[in-house]
Structure formats: structure tokens, C-alpha cells
Structure 1
Amino acid sequence: MSKLDPGVQFNEVSWAPAGGWLAILAKRSNGGNVMFVDTTLQEAKRTNVVEHPGFNKSYWDPTGRYFVTCSTLGGRIGADLGFRLYTFQGRELCRKGLERLSQFKWRPRPPVKLSDQKLKEIKNNLKKTAVRFEREDNEEKNRASQEVVEKRRKIMTAFELIRQKNLKKIAAERELRISLRDGVDTDNSKADELVEEQIMVALDTQKTLAPLGEDELV
């Protein structure tokens, strides 16, 4: 189905638990290359090549969705201990250095408690189930949108109540404002009717001795 290019150095092959995906490794090497290959296609396709210099252990997780390379105690001398986590396609998700790392283990995948007949039924009805789930997701989104609209409506209602209350207060104090402004009703004044008046107030004063001129010294 496929073959490696001449001169490429790898020393181990690791299949995903469910097959389909393949990791070709160069363990205990300076480059520490890992090639991810998709064999589910008509022709095998390389999806990515990553590097983890000096790694000496590697594991697929039980689902076959993740792959990890590790550099542990007892591996290549001088290698930085730690692990790097990838997707099954070879995209790096994270890396972490761990001093004195000696072992890495995935949590076992819990056993499926459904019967073979039930699993077959689920697979056959997968499309119908997906449509139902999508409909429920859309209903949930619409419900969330309605909640946002209702919350905004309540806020606007509360704002309008406060606004009307203040307008009534302003109207009740109109006569008082006119009397305080020497009979001038400024509520209905337009901008061009206003008279601008500037008042300058000295905030601070200082006395300084000015030098006398030649005429003043005579």
C-alpha cells in the first residue's frame, strides 16, 4: 500500500488499538521522529511527522484517539525526561517535563455494558439519533436566546420605571427651579438662547520682587 522514502530511519511500528491508524517510530534516536499514517484510505497517507528527541517509550490510548511518547529513566542518556501527547493524526496537544519519570500508563477503557444486539441497533440508528440530538441542541440554543431576550426586556422595563419616576420629580420641582433662577424658565430654553458668561477667580496670589531698571536707579 505504501513505503517509506529511502534513508528514513525508523525502528518500530505501532498500530492503534482499533486499527486504521499507524505510528512509525524512531525510538532512542537523536531525532526521535514519529510518523503518523492513515491506512483507512485506498492508499495509505502520511498525516504528520513529529519529533521527540531521545524518547524510549510510546503508547496509544485505549480509544485510539491519542498517542503519547515518553522519555523515562533507563532511556537514552542525556534525554530530557517527560512526555508529549498527540492526536491520532499527529497534532501535538501538550508536552511536559517530569524529573525521574519512570513509567506512563493510560487509564483502562471501561468495558461496554451493552449487548452486541444493542450496539448493533445503536449503529443502525445512528443517523436518526444524530438528527434528534441536533434538533435538541437547536432547541437548547433557542431557549438560551429567549432567556437573554427576556432578561433584556426586564432590564428595559426597570429602566423605564426609574426614568418615569425621575421625570415626575423634575416636573414637580419646576416652579422651585424658576424661582431660584430669577423667574427664568431654563427647562424649555434652546441652546442659542443661552448667554455664556465667564467668571475668572484667582486661586492663588504671590508677591515677587522685580529688579529695578536703569531709569529707576537714577
Structure 2
Amino acid sequence: MSGDGVNEWNGFELPPRPPLPAPATDAPIRKIGMPPGMEPALDTVPSSDHGIPVPVARPEFGLAPKPFAPQPTAADQPAPATAPTPVAKSIGNPRLELPDGSVLPLGEGLIVGRDPQHQEGYGVTARARLHDVERSVSKTHAILGVADGRVWVLDLNSTNGTVLIAADGTETLCAPEVATPLLANTAVRFGEYRVQVVFD
């Protein structure tokens, strides 16, 4: 290109450029709509493969004073100064019955999950792997044990929750990190994995 404004290439003059087309003023504006079943305010597509959640009762129990501590025996009790102190009723042979027929003792507490890891602060060291083919059980799902003469279960913020199933079929969802007492012969569902809690 020379300095006088003439377009050249290798000494040859280039033809003038064609003018740009004028913008159309009467062209219709096309908009792309939302896919069927999707709301503009949402950024996800609704799924129909999930069932409607079933409401379950919330527990009304607070934290256990000392979750899953071994129960004191009469020999461990200090001699009363005046009137005898009432001792919590002892639980006889608390155990967890698995679907395959295995029986796991709960007297010293038990951490359950697909691959349970040790949890500080609960005084429980025994661990039990639950063989859940549906993988609805979390790696470290819950803790079971005995405290204050009762059997307790404590959900460890599991993905699919812990649900208690009474004899009449009533279901109670365990609040995470809240020790919930169990009645005798109560069924417990860790995700979709159901076990039975039995004690005398």
C-alpha cells in the first residue's frame, strides 16, 4: 500500500471494495424459547425419575449426656452419703441383627458404614462394615451404643439419612448428630439398608 491512499499489492492496483449491505429494518426478531418442562428462573432441568419424598416425623430427643459410654456396674457406684441414688435401668444384651443373619453386639458401641472410620469424642472404637449393594449407606454412616440405660443411634451427617421404623410401620428420621433413643425390636434403615435392633 502506498502513502497516497491507493490500495496496491506487488505494484498492482486493487479493485475497490463492495459496499456493505444495509441492515434490514423489517426483519423479524427470532427468540429461542425454553425447552418443555424447564422454567426460565431455574438453571436445572426437572427430573421425573425421583419419587416424591415421604414426610417422616422429626425426633423430639436431645443429645445424650454421654453418648455410648459403657454402663457403670453396682461395684463402680460410689457409696451414697444419705439416700441412695437411682441407677438407670440396664439394657440386656443389646445387639444389631443384619439381613444376612449376622449379629453384632452393641454394648460397647458400634460405628457402622460401608467403610467406617474412627470418630473422636464418642468413646466407640468397634466398627462394622455393612455390605450394601445399592451403595445407599455412607462410608461412615452412624454410631450405635448404650448410654443412660438406653440404646441410641446417632447419624453422622450421612448422605441418605438414618430412619427408625417402629413396629406399626411409623418412620422417624434421625436428625444428624443428635443421639436418638431406640425401643426394643426397632428396625433402623441406613439409607436403604435395613437392620434390626434387639435387646432384652
Larger RCO (CA under 8 A, 6+ residues apart):
2
**Quick check: TM above 0.5?**
no
TM-score of the superposed pair, with normalisation by structure 1? 0.20
Task: Looking at secondary structure, tell me which structure has more strand per residue.
Answer: 2
